[in-house]
Amino acid sequence: MRFSISGKVMVIYGSIFIAIIFLTFGLSYYGTVGRLEQDLKNTHLALLKQIDDKIEITFRTTEKDLLNLSQQVEYVYFMYDSYDDPSQKYANFFALSNKLKTIVSTNEQLSSVFVYSDASKDMMTDKSFLQRSDSADNWLAGYIDMEGYSKWISTHKVWDGDKEHNAVTHIRPYPLISSPGYRKGLVAVNITEDELFRIMGDVYDGGQQDGHTFIIDGSGGIVTHDDKSRLYTDMTDEPYIKRILGGNGNGQFTVKSGGAEQSVFYRTSAYTGWKIVSVVPQSQLYQPLESLRKLMIAIASLMVVMALTALFFVNRRTFKPLDRLAGKLSGSLRHVKAGQTGSLGYLETAFDQMFTDREQLEKRVRDSKPALKWRMVMDMLTGYRTDYASVSRQLEFIGIRLLPEMFVVCTAEFDKDGGIGPKDETLYAYALCNVAEEVINMENAGIAVDLGASSAAIIFSFAEGDEEQNHLRAFAAVEQILDIMRRQFGLLVTAGVGRCYRDMSDIPRSYDESQKALQYRMVIGSHSVISVLDLIGSDNQDYYRIIKMTDRIVEALRQTEYGKLNEFVAELFREAVGGGLSPELLRQLSYELVMKSLQGIAATGIDTEETLAGLGNLHERIGRCSGWKDLEDIVLAALEQMARKIEDKRMQRGSHKAIEKMVAYIQEHYGQSEFSLDRLADKFELSPTYISKLFKEHMERNFIDYLIEIRINASKELLLDKNRKVNDVAEAVGYTNTRSFLRAFKKYTGMTPSEYRDSAIASQASPE
């Protein structure tokens, strides 16, 4: 049977169209329905991961609380049952009880805290005290010889002295790293089963319509369940539970239970070893896909009918002239070449469209980088991204430069009383973020984003220094940012600064603290920098007071001032012994001073590992000391050895004329409040980055640290005039913010300006 050209075209293109439609349908079906089916499974596993992450965060918070509690003096006395008299014992009990209540009140997830002393056999909670002979409820004593250094107990009945709870318990021994037979006691925190279930329910945002989500321990016992009647039951009689307990990590499988197909999802917690299980009926899991399947089949059928109908009418009218032309041409030159030419034309068009789409996609990615940057920073501020290693490449891709540790967050808000409109508000926020990033990246790293509502968030990260020193650096940088915004834009900005934390996971804490500090602008006033340290008092215990004295020792070491070094070390040990520190705390103080000194001299280019090796087995030598004088001699000898290494290093380095001129210029102009690294760079026609590098190489410190030190030393001379006010002294040495001057002065001298003045005047008045 012979076909005309139009007939052949219709058959060929009809077959191609139908094949394309069915192929498109198949690919779309498996690419959409199949992908959605896999996405549904991945979503359920992701929900279990969120539950696991939230529970782990909650549990790790309890870990930090236990570690902090183990360092409290009252806790140590209770564990050793070592008191001079009954009054001291009761006073210690009262103080320890208050600390337990504080832990429970500040952590809404905790229901109670228990401490048990194996020396006295007593147990104390935040609500009651149980003596060894008073109650049979001293259940904690049974875990004194438990294996390992911590233990999680799944849901059990706990009486805290007030009422009985279904609770999950975390137990740690004291000392924290001690084996059975060497332990002095135990501490346990309890989280109610209801709280654990609430954490799990929050992830589902209202809960599942059908199915169950629950947690079991390694033996199949219920930890928490939405069906409370299942608590304290063993689920190993369920076949799918045995399969879950036999598996590791995460998984999903289908079982038949209760006459219906059930999808079982499970995840093994790497932290507790518990299994988080979600059982969902198949009908509920795939219900969203049924309507999509039907819709796609209907669309495919309609496309076939429409394609054949359109092909019939269009083809019959389009290719009829070819039938007439075919009779005039030879049989070898009929429609074949024309059909091939048409196919190549369509292919060329398709490739052109692909390249066009690719260029448009690249443009959209470039245009979306600011939004990605904002999203990334907001995720860090809200705690959604807490691991630096997992986000470092994303940060690099969108142009965010952050160092892996030492983070400070500042929240800045500018005054809108001048009638700033929405458009100007956006422009000022953009300018504030640009100024902040320029100032930060001169010596450190960081990022700033617009939060809306006339505010911005600024994240600092530092490559060196301790938490307190970096907090001070951030505070000084924010003051410089505010000064630039006032001078260049006439804009008054108020900022709150949070604490410095070492890990990225603590960025939300610093952010919350900065917002809390910013709220005090109504008390302190606009155009000021408010630190959270101004709002919360420091710990007054002797050890924390004495450890602050090590800062000036490290500074004397860096300056190789042997006289001050001997004087400060002797004073430190006199204070420690006079304060009644225990031998263990004296050893710890000595070791921490040496380690802090090693960190302090690292900036000079000295190899700290080689220096530590040259000191011998320092930890063992300190541990063998029987008297505090021996400790003082060992520490002083180690510090003097470090000082000699610093002197040798400086002799090898030589001098630098540019730095000498800069130092002279700083000595002359340090009293000007607007003095900054930018001004120094303009004066000597060098880049700020290069000047910062020169300071680190030849002055062994950052520019801002050197400027603060110059100002503090100058203020000491001015304070000798007892008729001069502290505010005037602060202004004379370049501080427009008196609180900033007070904080810096105490950081570098260990005293307030008033205390220093009284001490210096008394020393001058005393006879020789």
Looking at this protein, which amino acid is placed at residue 728?
D
Q: Is the pLDDT of residue 719 over 60?
A: yes
Which strand (E) or helix (H) includes residue 593? Answer: helix 583-601
Lowest average pLDDT, out of 314-323, 447-456, 629-638, 734-743, goes to 314-323
Greater pLDDT, 604 or 498:
498
What's the rounded Cα separation, in Å, for the pair 474 and 154?
Answer: 44
Of 495, 470, 497, 529, nearest to 705 by C-alpha is 470
What's the rounded Cα separation, in Å, for the pair 233 and 241?
Answer: 13
Of 723, 725, 721, nearest to 741 by C-alpha is 725
Which strand (E) or helix (H) includes residue 281? Answer: strand 275-281
Q: Compute the mean pLDDT over every residue in the chain, rounded to the nearest whole number.
A: 77
Looking at this protein, which amino acid is placed at residue 750?
G
- Would strands 455-461 and 407-414 be described as parallel, antiparallel, or unpaired? antiparallel
Greater pLDDT, 343 or 422:
422
* Residue-level pLDDT at 321: 56
* Residue-level pLDDT at 206: 55
Q: Note the residue count of the chain.
A: 768
- Max mean pLDDT range (40-44, 148-152, 609-613, 693-697): 148-152
How would residue 284 be classed by pLDDT, with cut points 50, 70 and 90? low
What's the rounded Cα separation, in Å, for the pair 13 and 239?
Answer: 56
Q: In this structure, are residues 499 and 510 in contact, taking their beta carbons and an 8 Å threshold?
A: yes
Q: Is the pLDDT of residue 351 over 70?
A: no
Q: Is the pLDDT of residue 768 over 50?
A: no
How would residue 28 be classed by pLDDT, with cut points 50, 70 and 90? low
* Residue-level pLDDT at 346: 40
Share of the chain above pLDDT 70, in %: 80
* Residue-level pLDDT at 548: 76
Q: Is the pLDDT of residue 340 over 50?
A: no
Strand partners, 247: none
Give me the DSSP letters along 174-228.
ESSS--TTS--EEEEEEEEHHHHHHHHHHHHTS--SSSEEEEE-TTSBEEEESSG
What's the rounded Cα separation, in Å, for the pair 215 and 199?
Answer: 12
* Residue-level pLDDT at 343: 40
| 496-536 tens-digit pLDDT | 888 889 888 888 988 888 888 776 664 456 788 888 887 64
How would residue 258 be classed by pLDDT, with cut points 50, 70 and 90? low
Average pLDDT over residues 704-732: 87
Average pLDDT over residues 732-742: 87
Lowest average pLDDT, out of 110-114, 246-250, 338-342, 364-368, goes to 338-342
Average pLDDT over residues 22-45: 71
Residue 660: count other Cβ atoms within 10 Å of its Cβ: 11
* Residue-level pLDDT at 354: 61
* Residue-level pLDDT at 287: 58
Give me the DSSP letters along 549-577.
THHHHHHHHHTT-HHHHHHHHHHHHHHHH
Cis peptide before 422 (omega within 30 of 0): no
Write down the residue that tokens 């952010």 correspond to: 511
Greater pLDDT, 14 or 499:
499
CA distance to 67, 95, 299, per residue, from 75 (Å): 11, 9, 72
* Residue-level pLDDT at 83: 82
Write down the residue that tokens 């800045």 correspond to: 412
- Max mean pLDDT range (124-128, 262-266, 368-372, 480-484): 480-484
Strand partners, 408: 460, 500
How would residue 747 be classed by pLDDT, with cut points 50, 70 and 90? confident
Average pLDDT over residues 46-73: 81
How would residue 250 be classed by pLDDT, with cut points 50, 70 and 90? confident
Q: Is the pLDDT of residue 315 over 70?
A: no
* Residue-level pLDDT at 525: 60
Residue 339: count other Cβ atoms within 10 Å of its Cβ: 15
* Residue-level pLDDT at 419: 61
Average pLDDT over residues 105-127: 84
Lowest average pLDDT, out of 86-100, 130-144, 582-596, 670-684, goes to 130-144
How would residue 132 be classed by pLDDT, with cut points 50, 70 and 90? low
Average pLDDT over residues 99-120: 84
Lowest average pLDDT, out of 615-619, 679-683, 764-768, goes to 764-768
Average pLDDT over residues 555-569: 82
First to last CA, the chain: 131
Greater pLDDT, 473 or 520:
473
Which strand (E) or helix (H) includes residue 459? Answer: strand 455-461
Q: Is the pLDDT of residue 612 over 80?
A: no
What's the rounded Cα separation, in Å, for the pair 172 and 146?
Answer: 10
How would residue 236 be classed by pLDDT, with cut points 50, 70 and 90? confident
Q: What is the 3-state secondary structure (H, E, C) of 46-111?
A: HHHHHHHHHHHHHHHHHHHHHHHHHCCHHHHHHHHCCCCCHHHHHHHHHHHHHHHHHHHHHCCCEE
* Residue-level pLDDT at 288: 61
Q: Is the pLDDT of residue 483 over 70?
A: yes
Q: Is the pLDDT of residue 336 over 60?
A: no
